[in-house]
Amino acid sequence: PEGREERDRRRRRVHPRLCVAMKGAGEQARQTAERLKTKGNECFHKNKIGAAIDLYTEAFTLCPHWPVPLVNRALCHKKNEDWNKVIEDCEKVIQLDTDNLKAHFFLGLAQTNTNRPHLAVQNLSTALKLARNTESTIKEEVWRTLARAKFESHSRTAAERAVRRGELLQRLKSLLKEDVSRRIKDSDSSLPDILEQQEELERDTSLLEDVFKSDELKYQGEDVPNWCTCQLTLEVFHEPVVTPCGISYENQVLLEHLRKVGEFDPVTRRPMKAKDVRKNIGLRNAVESYLDDNPWAWYYAM
């Protein structure tokens, strides 16, 4: 028993020193990693992408719980359009930091560029939410990438549905014809009865085609309604704001107008300042709801 107590006392004496040493080693590793990351940034700005990747890799190896070098390395892979490596790095970053804006954005972009738009939509939607919460400068880029992913996902679904719809329509038409032929064959129908059966077949076939046509129209359109677009750009709203006059504009376009043209409402020309602008969340939600209900329209938001 005395030997055990002595060992416990010895451990208690050693542990504080060990903790300090470990803490010092961790801080030194982080400082070294910071320097490597800074050198990597310098290489990236000089377009020395390979050297930057090596430096970011070394920095992350020293601090495997620090996601910044990994995000920067993903940016390098993005510049090289090495999308599979972008995906690999961003998935690791999200494991370390679930709210990392750039990781979700780069991952969604990579998934879009590797023909996986249905997966991209989820990550880009998260990225857009994070960008809006932080007022990030890449908010518009995220929005347009999300619009592209949603449109490509819709296009794939629409193409597959068109094939199935065409095959189903032909089968149903054949069944209608077989039914009429069977009824005529099974009964001693007179010529007027036969003609009436043929007319009924034509009416049923026409109705069937109309039903299928209405389904087809759900997956295509020509243009979005005016209320979805900014009067200044004629583009789909993604960050609408409203002025004291009650007119909505795209945020960045209105702020640029106030800064470069003059402090007045572009339509009514009434005096106003940037501080008078308010986010139009209701309109933004309505536009996004319209786009989701009519996914072909995401094309105009790209």
- Angstrom distances, CA of residue 223 to CA of 102, 243, 297: 32, 26, 7
How sure is the predictor about 197, in pLDDT bands with cuts at 50, 70 and 90?
Answer: confident
Q: What is the pTM of this model?
A: 0.80
The amino acid present at 240, given as its one-letter code, is P
pLDDT at 194: 78
DSSP state, 226?
G
Residue 271 phi, psi (nearest 5): -60, 140
How sure is the predictor about 7, in pLDDT bands with cuts at 50, 70 and 90?
Answer: low
CB 92 within 8 A of CB 101: no
- Measured N-to-C along each axis, helices 83-96 and 68-79 cross at an angle, to the nearest 10 degrees, of 160
pLDDT at 18: 43
Average pLDDT over residues 243-260: 97
Phi-psi label, residue 277: left if phi above 0, alpha if psi -120 to 50, beta otherwise: beta
d(C-alpha 123, C-alpha 138), whole Å: 15
Where is 61: in which H helix or E strand?
helix 49-62
CA angle 132, 98, 29 (to 5 degrees): 115
pLDDT at 13: 52
Average pLDDT over residues 158-172: 93
The amino acid present at 113, given as its one-letter code, is N
132-158 burial, b if ≥16 CB within 10 A, otherwise e? Answer: beeebeebeebbebbbbbbbbbbbeeb
pLDDT tens profile 131-145: 999 999 999 999 999
Has residue 43 got a pLDDT over 50? yes
pLDDT at 1: 47
CB 266 within 8 A of CB 232: yes
CB 45 within 8 A of CB 33: no
CA angle 203, 205, 208 (to 5 degrees): 110
pLDDT at 221: 82
How sure is the predictor about 21, in pLDDT bands with cuts at 50, 70 and 90?
Answer: very low
CB 153 within 8 A of CB 125: no
Those residues whose C-beta lies under 8 Å from the C-beta of residue 163, and which sit 6 or more positions away, are none
pLDDT at 14: 46
How sure is the predictor about 173, in pLDDT bands with cuts at 50, 70 and 90?
Answer: very high
